[in-house]
Amino acid sequence: MRVFIVGTGNMAGGIATRALAGGHTVRLIGTDPAKAATLADALGERTPGADVAPAVPDAVGSADVVVLAVPFDAARQVVTEYGDQLAGKTVVDISNPVDFSTFDSLTVPADSSGAQQLAEAAAPGTHVVKAFNTTFAGSLVAGEVGGLPLDVFIAGDDAAARDQVAELVSSGGLNPVVVGGLRHARELEGIQLLHMALQTRPGGHGWMSAIKIVAP
C-alpha cells in the first residue's frame, strides 16, 4: 500500500517504521518540509531499501491509507483543509483528545469521540478509522513490549477500511484487534487516557508500556 503519514514527530516515525517493515511505500507530509526530509532519511537508514520520502499535501490523492499522526486539534484542521482529497480514502486517526494539563479527562463530549468529530468534519466518503491511539512511539519502533507483539485496536464504520488498516498492522508484525464501529473510538480514547496517566505517576513505565488482550 501507499501510506501517507501527516506529521513528522515520534508517532509518525514509529508508525512509518512498522509500515516499512511490512513492505509498504511511505510518504511523509509535514508543515516543515525539512523535518519531513530528515525523518525520511532516518527511516531509510533504519530500514535499508525502504521506499520512504517526503511529499506535499497535493500528493495525498495517490494514497491508499492516510495516517494523521498529529494531535487532535491539528487532525481536525487537516481533514478540513484537505477536504475532497480525502474522499474515498482510509484515514487513520491516532489522536487522543486528552486534557494534557491534568491527564484526568477527555476534551470531547461524553457521547462522542475525537474520531467521530473528525469523521463529521471530513468530506463525505472519507473513511475514518481509529487505530494506533493506544500505542506509544518507542514501542512501535520496537514492535513489541516484553517479547509480545503490540495489539493495535481498530474501530471504524467501513469494513473495507478496517481491513486495510488491519493489513497494515499485521504486515508490520503487530496484532490487529478490530473492536467494531467508530462509536467504540470513545472507549479506546478513554482506555488510553488512563494508560497515559499511568506514565506520569511516580514509578511509571517511561512511555514504553502497552495495552494487550491476553487469553489462554
pLDDT of residue 203: 79
pLDDT of residue 206: 86
pLDDT of residue 195: 93
Contact indicator for 125, 88 with CB cutoff of 8 Å: yes
Helices (H), ranges, 2-82: 10-21, 33-46, 72-82
* pTM for the full predicted model: 0.95
Contact indicator for 198, 103 with CB cutoff of 8 Å: no
Contact indicator for 169, 176 with CB cutoff of 8 Å: yes
Single-letter code of the amino acid located at 5? I
Residues with Cβ < 8 Å from 94, sequence gap 6 or more? Answer: 11, 15, 67, 68, 69, 130, 131, 132, 133
Residues with Cβ < 8 Å from 77, sequence gap 6 or more? Answer: none
User: What's the whole-number average pLDDT of the chain?
Assistant: 95
Provide mean pLDDT across the span 136-148.
95
What cell was used for 214? 491476553
Give 125's pLDDT tier (boundaries 50, 70, 90).
very high
pLDDT of residue 80: 96
Provide mean pLDDT across the span 135-143.
96
